[in-house]
Amino acid sequence: MLAQPAPACSFSIAFNTSFEPGADRLPASEVSRLAEWMIEGPGKYENKENFHIVLYEHPIAGINHARTRQRVSHLRHLLTTLDVPASKISWDVGRYRPGKTMESPNFAQIDFLPGCPHPCCPGPQPIQPTR
């Protein structure tokens, strides 16, 4: 019997949103949507591994380093208010590249990565290496 490589499983649940141009905080409707997402998505998992924030910096559009830091701070504050420990929150700030970046420069994403058990975790027996 030939051993076939198993496809890698990467499991995350994403919350996508956008800041208003020039804003440091999400509108109330997006904050409400985030709270609902926390219940419907991450709230279903007993182990919460990590929440990862992704934002863009784009000085030409008014999203300089200071504004990006304010946006990160705002999203971190919202997550901690929703009972996410600060130690479980990480973030990345990418450089917005017009014509190459799919989203708008005001785009923000929060990826939730659950700890086991979740659909990509191995079963109750450890995975044995193939020979």
CATH code of 42's domain: 3.30.1330.60
Cα(128)–Cα(116) distance, integer angstroms? 18
Rg (CA), the chain: 18
Phi, psi of 112 (to 5 degrees): -105, 125
- The pLDDT value given to residue 58: 96
Give the model's confidence band at 5: pLDDT under 50 very low, under 70 low, under 90 confident, else very high.
Answer: very low
Instruction: Give the list of residues 6+ apart from residue 115 with CB closer than 8 angstroms, or none.
Output: 45, 47, 48, 49
Amino acid at site 117: P
The answer to whether residue 44 sits within a structural domain is yes
Instruction: Judge whether 22 lies within some domain.
Output: yes
In a domain, 29, yes or no: yes
CA torsion sign, 97 to 98 to 101 to 106?
positive
pLDDT value for 77: 98
Question: What is residue 62's predicted lDDT score, i.e. its pLDDT?
Answer: 94
With respect to residue 72, please indicate whether it lies within any of the assigned structural domains.
yes
Strand partners, 52: 90, 111
Total domains in the fold of the chain: 1
pLDDT at 10: 66
Residue 65 lies inside a defined structural domain of this protein: yes
- Per-residue pLDDT tens over the stretch 98-119: 989 889 999 999 999 998 887 7
Could you tell me if residue 121 is inside a domain? no
The pLDDT of residue 82 is above 50: yes
Residue 90 lies in a domain: yes
**Which residues form the domain of 66?**
15-114
Per-residue pLDDT of 30-77, as tens digits, reads: 999 999 999 999 998 888 899 999 999 999 999 999 999 999 999 999
pTM for the model = 0.83
Burial of 15 from C-beta contacts in 10 A (0-12 / 13-18 / 19+): buried
CA 74 to chain centre: 14
**Amino acid of residue 63:** I
Does any domain span residue 119? no
Residue 92 has pLDDT above 80, yes or no: yes
> CB under 8 Å to 102, separation ≥6 — which residues?
none
